[in-house]
Structure 1
Amino acid sequence: MFLLAFAALVVERIIGYPDWLFRRIGHPVTWIGWLITQLDDRWNRETAEFQERRRMGVLALLVLIGAMIAISLLVETALLSVVIGPVLLVLVAATLPAQKSLDSHVDAVATALETGGIEAGRKAVAMIVGRDPEHLDEAAVCRAAIESLAENFSDGIVAPALWMGVGGLMGGAVYKAANTADSMIGHRSPRHEAFGWAAARFDDLINLPASRLTALLFAAAAFFIEGASPREAMRAVLRDAKHHRSPNAGWPEAAMAGALGIALAGPRSYGGRIIEARFMGEGGNPQLTVWHIHIALKLARIADAMLIGLFGLLALVIWLI
């Protein structure tokens, strides 16, 4: 299974998910999102009591997980029944991690700031973060892009690969569905506080190992970047990660902040509402610039290469055993 995860990471890093294919058939995340929307529309009745909506949210999560298990097992069985099945299975599995798209979206923020100024930067960063972008200055745009890189490296790359290594295509598909559910309905809003409770709690649970591994990868990657500090990365994790609103996001964000000597997280605005939050990292240089985005991308690329190497090594050890 780690061999599948290794091969999927290599393929996705090289080719990503082609735009022409997305335009023709969409993406597994869009299909999962359609199912979540159907469950939300049908089962999340605003006239129901809080506990009833919570119970229906639990049921919706179970249906989603069950559907992913059934579909992934059917796909895997069908593909492995043909000669080139293993190759096709790798191509399907390669749709689950998001190395290439994450890198390109964060790099697009840096390019927008460099070529189009602050307004272009705000539009670019709005594609990858949920906070209000209209009042962000350049430093805030850069901070938001780096935070998104750190958190989504864990959620969008390490976690699906890790669960694929543990549970094959089924493990990766279940993780991706649960993570998508959290992003769509796992909010403390009037509509989803009850119905999305199970999705949010389950996502917190299944992201625990990946967030910790991501922090270690960022710290290790700092060894290979001049001026970055593996020691400060781990110090920031031990000091600051527990103060993040999320039980998982603080680990990669604190590691990134400590490694680069910057401050991440802190207060931000969502939907016109100010969210108070602790900073991750001591922030030796709080005035972030496009250079910090580029160095953060370099750190993430090295960490990604380490992740691929780790999975390749695990696959080899398992094969030899």
Structure 2
Amino acid sequence: MELFWIPLAALVIDAIFGDPRSFPHPVQLIGSMLNRLEKTTRKNFPNRLGGVLSLLILLLLVFIAVSFFIDLPYVGWVFALYFAWSGLALGSLLNEGTKAVQAVSSGSIEEGRKAVSMLVSRDVSESSEEELYKTLAETLSENFNDGIIAPFFWLILSGPVGLWLYKATSTMDSMWGYKNEKWIDLGWAGAKFDDLLAYVPARFSAMFLQSTANLAGLGSGRGAWDSVARDAAKMESPNAGWPMAMAAHLYGRPMGGRAVYFGKIKEKPVLGAGDEAWDHHSLIQLIKHIRLAAIFGCGLMWLIVTLLRLVF
């Protein structure tokens, strides 16, 4: 019964209220665990082996902790709902994205850069207004999968425990997954496992954006899939390019190109064939589109899994 109603309840609560702010967020606790694991493993193991061991230890601790709380008599369902709610990021993504768009359009360029820098890991200290809008479009579309579709996918398949095993892996990848000398070996295991867990949801996320294109005022989106698949294959990640490329093609506005990470310029693959620049109007439309696609996609996944459970 909990797998029946908790995912929908968590999605509604998250869409309305965003992340819980009155309690310590599980991601913060996972981040603290990763910081401790980094210090220990770097001292005692080669980085590649240390990364593998850190991932296994992290997943074991998360499994034990979440299982313990949701199995408590009488109050287990409360913890299950909390873990499900806190593992989704629809409300926070759209709220913070909207604030950043407003800061770019109505504030000074410095205010816009500061707002966008809170949402991305790249350096935007010298970005133009047009570049800030494009950066926001990229992070919103990529996090449509990472923050909504993928965690909900694992929630309906395996409950809060499965969701938080995914979130722990994703957090490890976010903190350790940089492809530079410091992290390339230590973050290898987390990055590879995150690629595996997000593989199917990433393609679903592109499908849900395409399926709701008409509702978002973008036409049918027919014929975009082959182009999206070609563009997504250009990316280093096997998953990130799918929702990004779909948004780029549906809106006729490119993503990718030059970006600065840790003081180094990186030329990312260009996604999409359009030549219009991202602007305030298209970002607000994208935010509304993501909300529609999330409701449609999560509802569809929940319905299919629920029917399969009833049949089998």
Map residues 188-203 of structure 1 onto 2, 5 A cutoff.
Answer: 188-203=179-194
Q: CA deviation at 1:235?
A: 3.8
- Code of the aligned partner of 2:269: R
Given the alignment, which residue of 30, 33, 36 partners 1:32? 30
Residues 55-66 of structure 1 aligned to structure 2 (within 5 Å):
55-66=49-60
Q: Does 1:176 align with 2:167?
A: yes
Which of 257, 260, 282 aligns to 1:292? It is 282
Note if 1:44 corresponds to 2:42.
Answer: yes
CA 1:232–1:290 in structure 2 vs 1: closer, same or farther (change >3 Å)? farther
Please identify, of 225-234 and 256-265, the stretch whose mean Cα deviation from structure 2 is larger. Answer: 225-234
Matched, 1:268 2:270: no
Sort the Cα spacing of 1:2 and 1:129 in 2 relative to 1 into closer, same or farther, 3 A: farther
Find the counterpart in structure 1 of residue 245 from structure 2.
254
Matching residue's letter, 2:41: W
Measure the CA separation in 2 of the matches of 1:15 and 1:111.
20
Letter of the structure 2 residue corresponding to residue 14 of structure 1: I
Match of 2:17 in 1: 15
Q: Point out where structure 2 has 5 or more consecutive residues left out of the alignment.
A: none
Structure 2 Cα separation of the partners of residues 147 and 2 of structure 1: 33
Question: Which segments of 5 or more consecutive residues in structure 1 lack a partner in the other structure?
Answer: none
Specify the alignment match of 1:306 in structure 2: 296
- Counterpart position of 2:119: 128
After TM superposition, the runs of 4+ consecutive aligned structure 1 residues lying more than 4 A away are none
1:74 counterpart (50, 64, 68)? 68
Name the SS for the 1:105 alignment partner: helix
For 1:193-252, what per-residue CA distance to the aligned partner results, in whole angstroms no more than 9, with x for missing partners? 111111111111111011100000110111212234512542431221100121110001
* Mapped contact 1:107–1:294 kept (Cα < 8 A): yes
CA distance in 1, matches of 2:216, 2:294: 14
User: What is the CA distance between 1:188 and its match in structure 2?
Assistant: 1.9
Tell me the CA shift for residue 317 of structure 1. 1.7
Residue 47 of structure 2 aligns with an amino acid whose one-letter code is R
Contact 1:263 1:280 in 2 (8 A): yes
Identity among equivalent positions (%) equals: 34
CA gap of 1:238–1:163, structure 2 versus 1, over 3 A, is: same
Distance 1:139 1:228, change over 3 A: farther
Work out the CA distance in 2 between the residues paired with 1:93 and 1:288: 33
Q: The residue matched to 1:276 in structure 2 has which SS?
A: strand
Q: Secondary structure at the match of 2:275?
A: coil
Q: Say whether the 8 Å CA contact 1:125–1:145 is kept in structure 2.
A: yes
Which residue is equivalent to 2:85? Answer: 94
Could you tell me how far apart the structure 2 residues matched to 1:300 and 1:143 are?
A: 16
**TM-score if structure 2 supplies the norm length?**
0.93
Q: Residue 87 and residue 311 in structure 1: after superposition, are their counterparts in 2 closer, same or farther (change >3 A)?
A: farther
Q: Distance in 2 between matches of 1:108 and 1:67?
A: 35
Q: Which amino acid aligns with 2:117?
A: A
Using the alignment, how far apart are the partners of 2:212 and 2:250 within structure 1? Answer: 9
Q: Is the 8 A contact 2:70 2:77 kept in 1?
A: no
Q: CA deviation digits over 1:265-298, x for unaligned, max 9?
A: 122111221111211101231x221111111111
Secondary structure class of the residue paired with 1:109: helix
Distance 1:231 1:36, change over 3 A: same
Q: Distance in 2 between matches of 1:65 and 1:113?
A: 39
Q: CA offsets, 1:296-319, max 9 Å, x none?
A: 111101101102321442354246
Contact 1:107 1:297 survives alignment (8 Å) = yes
For 1:125, the aligned partner's letter is: V
CA distance in 2 between partners of 1:142 and 1:185 (Å): 27
Aligned-partner residue type, residue 269 of structure 1: V
CA distance in 2, matches of 1:298, 1:236: 24
Q: CA-atom RMSD, angstroms?
A: 1.8
Q: Which amino acid aligns with 2:91?
A: K
The alpha-carbon deviation at position 76 of structure 1 amounts to: 1.3
Number of positions where the alignment pairs a residue of Structure 1 with one of Structure 2: 309
Q: Which amino acid aligns with 2:151?
A: P
